[in-house]
Amino acid sequence: MSKRPFCAALIVAAGHGVRAGDGLPKQYRLLADAPVLRRSIDAFVHHPAIDHVQVVISPEHRQLYDSVVEGLALPAPIHGGDTRQDSVRLGLEGLADAKPALVLIHDAARPLIAAETIGATVTALETADGALPVLPASDTLKRVHEARVEATLARDGVGLAQTPQGFRFDKILHAHRAVHGTSFTDDASIAEHAGLNVVAVAGSRLNFKLTTPEDFLMAEALLAQTGSVRTGQGFDVHRLGPGDHVWLCGLRIEHTHGLIGHSDADVGLHAITDALLGAAALGDIGQHFPPSDERWRGAASHIFLTHAAQLIAERRGRIEHVDVTLICERPKVSPHRESMVAKIAALLSIDRSRVSVKATTTEGLGFTGRGEGIAAQAIATVRLP
């Protein structure tokens, strides 16, 4: 079996997005709890057909960029130019050392790109110099001049170009160099000008470009409805022993005893961590943080929880809700409930309205009733693409 061609993704994020309204450049704004650029990057980083991801940014946005890609092993970003065309050319020049056979050029402002579209574009390059997703025009087309409708245009054979636009790397780099100083509307038009064979694959209405504030509203609404909803459950128990405090849901609470465990024994955060990992089918807390590993002796349990949340974010997931029940006779949970909710919400970077903390006793029955230990059970709801 022949080895597939080395394929790079070039994500163009050097613009300022002034039409998207006030605030941060649109590629750095949050879209359903994740920056737009991070959503676009993750789509390619986690795609099996993509071997290398390179981002082009404005030099003045480096600090914003670094915060967006935290936790990802990406090469240093390439600085873009005055126009998108310049930024793409500079990005291609910077990719030359990686020697990709294929390259997919994608606008960072299209964060809802589907894995199927990426795959179809790469596959089309097996027999073509270039490929891009195209959406057939469904509305009637009009030629307008100075607010006056001059003519109705035939829409047969007319489509709306999207990204990623894929090409044989050497050919698109040569084509960009040849037209430097001349303006084109997209990379496919440069390829067409160079006489390259460019084919269309099926586009998607979800793969629209975020340009205006209304586009952000539509994307938020779509993300709230798309993907599959997964539910996970977690359960944890720790024995009570000598000590003067316990850790519960991220809070240090004074108590007559302490909880015994390899880490800080926070049963609440452990149960939530397992629930999140279960919802994403990522195993359990022991697989990620083995109790046999001395690195985690006495570790703060928020490390485990934020790790689970990061894994979900890397998969473009969204934590919809977590619900944890603490099972103990003492200490009393109700005085700390709101602080626990706030702590969990902050650790997961979600709104407090998505966190529930409850407590119950076993009416003096069992090990919790006898004050021998504390248990917790949790349920997490996660939306994954």
pLDDT at residue number 1: 42
**pLDDT tens digits, residue range 13-48?**
999 865 655 678 999 999 877 899 999 999 999 899
Let me know whether 356 and 216 are in one domain. no
Compute CA distances 45 → 143, 202, 288, whole Å. 40, 22, 21
In a domain, 362, yes or no: yes
In a domain, 1, yes or no: no
Let me know whether 277 and 217 are in one domain. no
Let me know whether 196 and 279 are in one domain. no
How many CB atoms within 10 Å of residue 223?
21
pLDDT at residue number 349: 86
Let me know whether 148 and 243 are in one domain. no
**pLDDT tens digits, residue range 42-82?**
999 989 999 999 999 999 999 999 999 988 889 999 999 99
Is the predicted pLDDT of residue 250 greater than 60, yes or no? Answer: yes
Among 225, 254, 269, where does a domain finish? 225
Band (385; pLDDT cuts 50, 70, 90): confident
Let me know whether 171 and 261 are in one domain. no
- φ and ψ at residue 2, rounded to 5 degrees: -75, 145
Let me know whether 253 and 217 are in one domain. no
Let me know whether 265 and 215 are in one domain. no
Average pLDDT, the chain: 93
Mean local confidence (pLDDT), 345-373: 92
pLDDT at residue number 328: 95
Let me know whether 150 and 43 are in one domain. yes
Let me know whether 205 and 265 are in one domain. no
Is the predicted pLDDT of residue 241 greater than 80, yes or no? Answer: yes
Band (313; pLDDT cuts 50, 70, 90): confident
In a domain, 2, yes or no: no
Torsion angle (degrees, nearest 10) of CA 111, 114, 117, 123: 110
Note whether 171 and 191 are within 8 A (CB): yes
Among 225, 255, 279, where does a domain finish? 225
In a domain, 354, yes or no: yes
CATH of the domain at 16: 3.90.550.10
In a domain, 26, yes or no: yes
* Token pair listed for 269: 């955060």
Q: H helices within 147-238, ranges in order?
A: 169-178, 187-193, 213-225
pLDDT at residue number 17: 67
In a domain, 42, yes or no: yes
Output the CA angle 353-354-355, nearest 5 degrees: 95
Single-letter code of the amino acid located at 4: R
Q: Which domain holds residue 93?
A: 7-225
Measured between alpha carbons, how far is 147 from 216 in angstroms, rounded to an integer? 27
In the block, tokens 């001395």 appear at: 294
**pLDDT tens digits, residue range 163-222?**
999 999 999 999 999 999 899 999 999 999 999 999 999 999 999 999 999 999 999 888
Task: For residue 157, give every residue at least 6 positions away whose Cβ sits within 8 Å of its Cβ, in sequence order, or none.
Answer: none
| Least confident range of 150-154, 225-229, 258-262 | 225-229
Let me know whether 172 and 250 are in one domain. no
Query: Could you give the number of structural domains in the chain?
Result: 2
Mean local confidence (pLDDT), 138-148: 93
* Helices H / strands E in the chain, number of each: 12, 19
Let me know whether 56 and 202 are in one domain. yes
pLDDT at residue number 298: 87
Would you call 225 helix, strand, or coil by DSSP? helix
Let me know whether 99 and 206 are in one domain. yes
In a domain, 276, yes or no: yes
| Least confident range of 12-26, 99-113, 309-323, 345-359 | 12-26
Q: What share of the chain is helix, strand, coil (3-state, %, to 5)?
A: 35, 30, 35
Among 201, 225, 249, where does a domain finish? 225
Measured between alpha carbons, how far is 336 from 331 in angstroms, rounded to an integer? 10
CATH of the domain at 251: 3.30.1330.50
Note whether 104 and 44 are within 8 A (CB): yes
pLDDT at residue number 23: 75
pLDDT at residue number 216: 92
In a domain, 63, yes or no: yes
